[in-house]
Amino acid sequence: MTSVAARAAAAAAPHRYAALSVAAAVATIALKSAAWALTGSVGLLSDAAESLVNLAGAVMALWMLRVATRPADEDHAYGHSKAEYFASAFEGALIVLAAFGITLAAVGRLVSPRPLEQLGVGLAVSLAAALSNLVAALFILRGGRRHRSITLEANARHLLTDVWTSGGVIAGLVAVAFTGQLWLDPIVALAVAANILRTGFGIVRRSVLGLMDTALPEDERRALLAAVEPHLAAGVQMHALRTRQSGARRFVSFHVLVPGEWSVHRGHELLEAIEADVRRALPAATVFTHLEPLDDPSAWDDTGLDREA
């Protein structure tokens, strides 16, 4: 396979996972809506509403993944990978809105209770939907980790939250069936709303951190320093380390200081070796290095983000 074909195949892979998420959302919406129609359970209604959010998020994820995998161009020299954060932020916002909608429906059912019907059939349909989501979520989560995609990972974790949500709703219906206490159904729905509200805020927070160019996680920074450490010998130092993540890509920049008598060729060979080791430690990393003479005082003037004039 040529390098061009290999890159095309790698870019297409995340789209397939997102397409699976769309299919899973459509299937679970149909199943949960049927379960709600059969039982009249507001808990199942809340579960079906969250699946609508799943569908909207999956469609947005599919769209943004296509944007994120576009190659760099003249107007986007660093690529389009930050588009993934728009998908995850959008999905998180939808989750928050759905949580408020579920809360309103549950409070209304607490005020005006209504008997539930055909609980056995409704439970079976809801369980089938939960199992469908579980299989899809685990598959998409594995793909998100493999391709280092925050969009796929967020989508998978949302699906997993939907699985636990369905479990809670099923538990509420079983409690109603055994106790006859109708208030248990809307109480479970309120718990579901609180859970997905927490998930929604978590997804939005992570997306905002990505858009704010937050540094790489501590474990990745340690791996980066471990890759550079073997090269820091015989008067070689580094400073001005900066890192950030943009979707699946990582960006790393730092300065390497060497003895002033080194030739440009020797310094360049060192930087090439360092950059190669950093890329091995951090896959999908774009590494920028700057060579400076160790004995020049001006080399120490630009350790901050903005150098004084």
Say which residue, 41 or 217, is predicted with more confidence: 217
Q: Which domains does the chain have, with CATH numbers?
A: 3-211 (1.20.1510.10), 218-300 (3.30.70.1350)
For residues 46 and 59, what is the distance between their CA atoms, to the nearest angstrom? Answer: 20
Angle at 76 between CA 75 and CA 79, to 5 degrees: 160
For residues 202 and 224, what is the distance between their CA atoms, to the nearest angstrom? Answer: 27
Please state which of the ranges 8-17, 39-48, 151-160 shows the lowest mean pLDDT: 8-17
Residue 139 buriedness (CB in 10 A; 0-12 / 13-18 / 19+): middle
pLDDT tens readout for residues 163-214: 777 777 777 777 777 777 777 777 877 887 787 788 778 878 878 887 788 8
pLDDT tens readout for residues 18-29: 777 788 778 877
Angle at 308 between CA 305 and CA 309, to 5 degrees: 135
287 pairs with which residues across the strands?
252
Tokens 């310094």 found at: 267
289 pairs with which residues across the strands?
254
What rounded mean pLDDT belongs to the chain? 79
Q: What is this structure's pTM?
A: 0.65
Q: Which residues contact 124 (CB under 8 A, 6 or more apart)?
A: none
Q: What is the average per-residue pLDDT within 62-69? A: 78
Contact 203, 158 (CB under 8 A): yes
State the pLDDT at residue 46. Answer: 66
The CA-atom distances, in angstroms, between 101 and each of 22, 41, 46, 183, 193 are 22, 15, 8, 18, 8
Say which residue, 233 or 286, is predicted with more confidence: 286
Secondary structure letter of residue 199 according to DSSP: H
| Structure-token pair, residue 151 | 């969009």
pLDDT score of 10 more than 50? no
Secondary structure letter of residue 230 according to DSSP: G
237 pairs with which residues across the strands?
257
State the pLDDT at residue 8. Answer: 43
pLDDT tens readout for residues 222-248: 999 999 999 997 789 999 899 988 877
Banded pLDDT at 3 (limits 50, 70, 90): very low
For residues 227 and 279, what is the distance between their CA atoms, to the nearest angstrom? Answer: 9
Please state which of the ranges 24-38, 41-55, 183-197 shows the lowest mean pLDDT: 41-55
pLDDT tens readout for residues 104-160: 877 877 787 766 656 666 677 777 878 888 888 888 888 877 777 777 877 787 777
For residues 135 and 84, what is the distance between their CA atoms, to the nearest angstrom? Answer: 23
Say which residue, 220 or 157, is predicted with more confidence: 220
DSSP 248-308: TEEEEEEEEEE-TTS-HHHHHHHHHHHHHHHHHHSTTEEEEEEEEETT-GGGGTTSSSS--
Say which residue, 211 or 308, is predicted with more confidence: 211
